[in-house]
Structure 1
Amino acid sequence: MATKARARKVAERIQEELADILMRNVADPRLAMVTITAVDVDRELAYAQIYVVASGDDERMDDVLAGLEGAQGYLRSQLAARIQLRSFPQLRFRWDASHERGARIEELLDSLQEERGEKAGDVSGGNDD
Structure 2
Amino acid sequence: MRKNSIKNTRINGEVQKELSTIIRNEIKDPRIHPMTSVMAVEVAPDLKTCKAYISVLGEKEAKEATIKGLKSAEGYIRRQLAHNMNLRNTPEIRFILDESIEYGVTMSKLIDDIAKKDQSHKQETDIDNFQDEEEI
What's the CA shift string for 1:24-43, capped at 9, x where partnerless? 22111112412111111122
Aligned to 1:21: 22
Deviant stretches of 4+, over 3 Å: none
> 1:55 deviation in Å?
3.0
Bigger-Rg structure (1/2): 2
Q: In 2, distance between residues paired with 1:111 and 1:43?
A: 44
What's the CA shift string for 1:73-102, capped at 9, x where partnerless? 110011011111111111010111101110
Q: In 2, distance between residues paired with 1:2 and 1:121?
A: 56
Q: TM-score, normalised by structure 1?
A: 0.90
Q: TM-score, normalised by structure 2?
A: 0.86
What's the CA shift string for 1:11-61, capped at 9, x where partnerless? 111111111112222111112412111111122222211111223233311
- In structure 1, the gaps of 5 or more residues are none
The 3 A distance-change label for structure 1 pair 78 and 55 is same
- In structure 2, the gaps of 5 or more residues are 132-136
More deviation, 116-125/70-79? 116-125
**Partner amino acid, structure 1, of 2:110:** L
**Partner amino acid, structure 2, of 1:108:** L
Instruction: Quote the sequence identity (%).
Output: 28
Q: 1:75 aligns with which of 71, 74, 77?
A: 77
* RMSD, matched Cα: 1.6
Residue correspondences, number: 129
Q: In 2, distance between residues paired with 1:99 and 1:59?
A: 17
Aligned to 1:6: 7
